[in-house]
Structure 1
């Protein structure tokens, strides 16, 4: 599946995600420095072992990504949401979260992140339950469904 967003392409899929471009995004985010060659396959395997994944492309450059681990019924966890520093502030991250939540709109969504990302997740409709240095932001789809009249209990 492909979607277009502000001149970019968002691709859904856990197969064929290029490890070198994932590593570049991780470096840009400050999550890795120098990955030994024998460990580089992890950048492909993390996608193969995910439930859902979305990558954002500007022509041949992957400029954003998100992975989701889920039981596909009740709960899902947003993993590794990254947007290249050159593209931040353009709504790409929020679009990725929106697409994720659409996969399980009445389920419980969680994003374990650092405190500096809490306001981002709040703008995406998540609640911050733990105000310590790191915590889990949550989005309860069943509560939202009840409030909007789509579910009674």
Structure 2
């Protein structure tokens, strides 16, 4: 899957992920700064990954852990600082939360400071930090 957004491309092609950019960003994040690089690399191998690209430079990222049937965990979302304020994070969450493979699943995530972003896509606070999104598909009677 590849989607154009403004002058950016959002892709789930894992071969395009710039692992060093992910490692560098997560090393300085509040949520993953204690993860060893080898664990981050393994998590990339075992997850669905989305990258956001400006020309060929990766400037954003999101990772999804899922059982492929009932739930997904949305995590490690970031946009490099110099690209923020352009709606890129919002577009990543939009692409993922409206993807046919995830719309019937319960989505969960953890955040300290971005509740408003995720609430726009149907996530609700489940505690102070965690949020969830119930499946959005049509009801079957």
With structure 2 as the length reference, what TM-score do the two structures score? Answer: 0.83
In structure 2, what is the equivalent of residue 94 of structure 1? 90
In structure 2, what is the equivalent of residue 151 of structure 1? 139
Structure 2: segments with no counterpart, 5+ residues = none
In structure 2, what is the equivalent of residue 106 of structure 1? 104
Q: Is the 8 A contact 2:16 2:51 kept in 1?
A: no
CA RMSD of aligned residues (A): 2.3
CA 83–54 in structure 1, closer or farther in 2 if over 3 Å, else same: same
| 2:9 partner SS | strand
Structure 1: segments with no counterpart, 5+ residues = none
Deviations 1:33-72 (A, max 9, x none): 9x9xxx534443221011x210001123211100001111
CA 6–29 in structure 1, closer or farther in 2 if over 3 Å, else same: farther
> For this pair of structures, how many residues does the alignment match?
138
Correspondence 1:58 to 2:47? no
Deviations 1:69-89 (A, max 9, x none): 111111110010111111222
**Greater Rg by CA:** 1
Deviations 1:74-118 (A, max 9, x none): 11100101111112221211211122221310210001121x211
CA 63–16 in structure 1, closer or farther in 2 if over 3 Å, else same: closer
The structure with the largest helix share of the pair is 1
